[in-house]
Amino acid sequence: MPVTFRHRRAAAFAAPLMAVLGLGLGGCDFDPTNLFAEKYKPEVVPDVPADKLYSDGLAKLEDSDYEGAVKKFDSLDKQYQYSEWSRKALLMTAYANYEGQKYDEAISASKRYLQRHPASKDAAYAQYLMAMSNYKQIPDVTRDQERSEKALVALQELVQKYPTSEYAIDAKAKIQITRDQLAGKEMEVGRFYLERRNFPAAINRFRDVVSKYQTTRHAEEALERLTEAYWALGIAQEAQNSAAVLGHNFPESPWYKDAHALLAQNGLEPREEKSSFLSKIYRTVAGKTASAE
């Protein structure tokens, strides 16, 4: 049978391939099972006793080698999973990251701890580390306050879930500071709108301060600014009410003097509407304060 062109090409390709394979098969030590085997030597990691890893981590902490401490505690957590050593290591990982100002890493470790050990004796401390890691990242009042909001939530959860813990008192103090920060941001935006005569937008911001943050130091100014904004819109009754609520709750405030002077220049006096939004807020605050005492 004549050889076709296709057969000639196949034969020409097969010849050098067989020659290469022939070279390999000709060696007396050829092992076909190792033709594609990887050439590597597996690394054997010796087990380190748990207490040794923990002690090494503590030593790194004492030397302020926070990154080294995290590595030791991470290794302990991985090698002795689901043990008491793992629980301790995870908490110390959060602490070492916090001390090393790796706050996001501290938050992540704290969250993992609370997910794994929500009822442990150290859960309150893990919650405190998470709250403080957010608190330490609160920016100045001119910037976005998302971190402040996260800090506030974490601090409030600490007080609600662990009210008798040793961290609750500090958390309550920092809640007030964080709320003051958030109120300050609202005031900054409200003043911006007020200066540009966008009075409705300014009123919305100042009302938010009064409704959400009425126990902060910004509440007095917010009430005075409401008096200004309402008067600028020609809503005299609301302006009088804002000034009256300000005077009733902060009679010695310089902001009340300003609000009173603004109305007096136009022949008006502060006059409170007991059914108003502002009056109800401060009656509620007064009631809560009385019951707490």
pLDDT at 256: 98
Q: What tokens appear for 217 in the block? A: 């130091």
Higher pLDDT, 11 or 61: 61
For 14, 20, 27, the CA distances from 23, given in Å and listed in that order, are: 14, 5, 7
Q: How many domains does the chain have?
A: 2
Query: Of 24-33, 238-247, 258-267, 273-282, which range is least confident?
Result: 24-33
Q: Mean pLDDT across the chain, nearest whole number? A: 87
Predicted confidence at residue 283, as pLDDT, reads 82
Q: Is residue 19 part of a domain?
A: no
**Residue 19: predicted pLDDT:** 40
Contact 214, 246 (CB under 8 A): no
Q: Which residue has the higher pLDDT, 198 or 26?
A: 198
Tokens for 114? Answer: 């609370």
pLDDT of 91 higher than 70: yes
The pTM of the full predicted model, rounded to 2 decimals, is 0.79
Choosing from 145, 180, 215, the residue where a domain stops is 180
Q: Is 266 contained in some domain? A: yes
Tell me, yes or no, whether 265 lies in a domain. Answer: yes
Contacts 24+ apart (CB under 8 A), 152-155: 152/178, 152/179, 152/182, 154/127, 154/130, 155/131
pLDDT at 34: 53
Residue 33 lies in a domain: no
Least confident of 41-45, 171-175, 181-185, 196-200: 41-45
Q: What is the mean pLDDT of residues 100-120?
A: 97
* Domain residue limits at 171: 50-180
Place of tokens 């003051």: 180
Which residue is associated with the tokens 């008067």?
231
Instruction: Name the domain boundary from 146, 180, 214.
Output: 180
Residue 173 and residue 85 share a domain: yes
CA distances to 9, 37, 77, 293 from 109, in Å? 65, 40, 11, 38
Please check whether residues 62 and 154 belong to one and the same domain.
yes
Residues 145 and 102 in one domain: yes
Mean pLDDT of 150-158: 98
- pLDDT(71) > 60: yes
pLDDT at 199: 98
Is the same domain home to 55 and 169? yes
* Confidence band for 285, pLDDT divided at 50, 70 and 90: low
**Are 113 and 220 found together in one domain?**
no
Report the CATH number at residue 172: 1.25.40.10
Q: Is residue 152 part of a domain?
A: yes
Whether residue 54 sits in one domain with residue 176:
yes
Give mean pLDDT, residues 185-190.
Answer: 98
The residue that leads in pLDDT, 67 or 21, is 67
Instruction: Confirm whether 290 is domain-assigned.
Output: no
